[in-house]
Amino acid sequence: MLNKEFLETLTPVEIQMVHQYINILFKNKVTSTTTNYGNLETSVDECPYCHCKHIVRNGHNNKTGRQRYLCKNKECGHTFEATTNTFFSHSKAKYQTWLTFIGCEVVGLSLRQESVITGVSVTGCFNMRHKLYNALRDYQQSQKLKGTCEVDATYVSINLKGWNPDDMPRFSKRRGKHKPDSQHPNLRGISHHKICIVSAVDEYDHILFRIAGLGQETFEMYNKFKDHFSEKCMIVADSKPCIAEFASANHLEADIIPSGEFKSSKLNTLAALNQLHQEFSELIRRKHGVGTRHLQAYIDWLVMTKRLRYRTDAKKMNTEIYMNIMKNSVNWTTDDICHIPMPIDLDEAYYEFMTDVNQLHQHIS
């Protein structure tokens, strides 16, 4: 196995030889026409449908000349090739295009900029972006928070970017000051038009950053994510009753920062979390608002790249991400992007306007 430990046993002259050899290989193997298939062809060891290891070679694809395989599991019997049911199964983009594209995403370029750099259309870049974000969704969900853990919520407005205007639940936008009446109660504090995002960062830089619901944070919103906290977590939070309630309900120690102060008696702060919130609002600003349907995907990407930045050299991030997604099975096509379910209930958000719309519809019919 060619790994770092092995390479370190080599003498300088041997390293020199390997270096020259690698240079030649690199020029031959990593070109603008290298496909993703090239990265997957040697690693086929199971059926992508039933994960059975009993597979045999089964001729070649007439068009592409690629190796085909047959699953010998009697209940399955599918034929497939190296890219079947992997991240790249519906992607025409070449290896270098994906690598460049991931690099663009890491530095946060716009679709238009990505299109110029990769030569893929803006729509193509949009699809690649959402495919990429979706493939890394499990990354955040698999992380468990440990040790000292800052907890708080942040808010963002609902954004219906990309919606057909005819499907808009919003009847009219009320502007300026209005006197409250029975249909339009005066809502104090954080309105139910705001999306609440529950967030937590632990001392090992594990992050929880998830859409929790509409309006002001509640005990229930935090409690939805209780499984992300390990038993010995210590919750650091400001003096909001819902977080204290969450901590005590789950038998977690809580270190509360008194209101008006920024340090707890144990000298803990919410500095790391505030930093994350700042990066999040910067992301929303840079993207000129993110459609609510895709909000969690953008959050997941932010969390993933932030985590990776702690561990990996920026130059290696695109190859590292490529390796992470390479064998990932993403069973969705371009069509699915438009059918991602809304993470919040729009009827609940716009109920006061919905009554207007219903009345209007009744009036028309």
Q: Contact residues for Zn ion (CB under 5 A)? A: 47, 49-50, 52, 71, 73, 76
Nearer to Zn ion, 44 or 195 (CB): 44
- The string of DSSP letters for 190-251 reads S-TTEEEEEEEEETT--EEEEEEEESS--HHHHHTTGGGB-TT-EEEEES-HHHHHHHHHTT
Nearer to Zn ion, 54 or 311 (CB): 54
Q: What phi and psi values does residue 117 have, to the nearest 5 degrees?
A: -70, -45
> If phi over 0 gives left and psi between -120 and 50 gives alpha, with beta otherwise, what is residue 349?
alpha
Q: How far is the CB of 55 from Zn ion (least distance, A)?
A: 7
Are the C-beta atoms of residues 95 and 88 closer than 8 Å to each other? no
Beta bridge partners of 235: 149, 254
- Distance of alpha carbon 294 from the chain centroid: 9
Q: How far is the CB of 72 from Zn ion (least distance, A)?
A: 8
Nearer to Zn ion, 47 or 153 (CB): 47
Q: How far is the CB of 50 from Zn ion (least distance, A)?
A: 3
Cα Dmax for the chain: 87
Nearer to Zn ion, 49 or 171 (CB): 49
How far apart CA 120 and CA 117 sit, in angstroms, is 8
Q: How far is the CB of 85 from Zn ion (least distance, A)?
A: 10
Q: How far is the CB of 84 from Zn ion (least distance, A)?
A: 11
Nearer to Zn ion, 78 or 307 (CB): 78
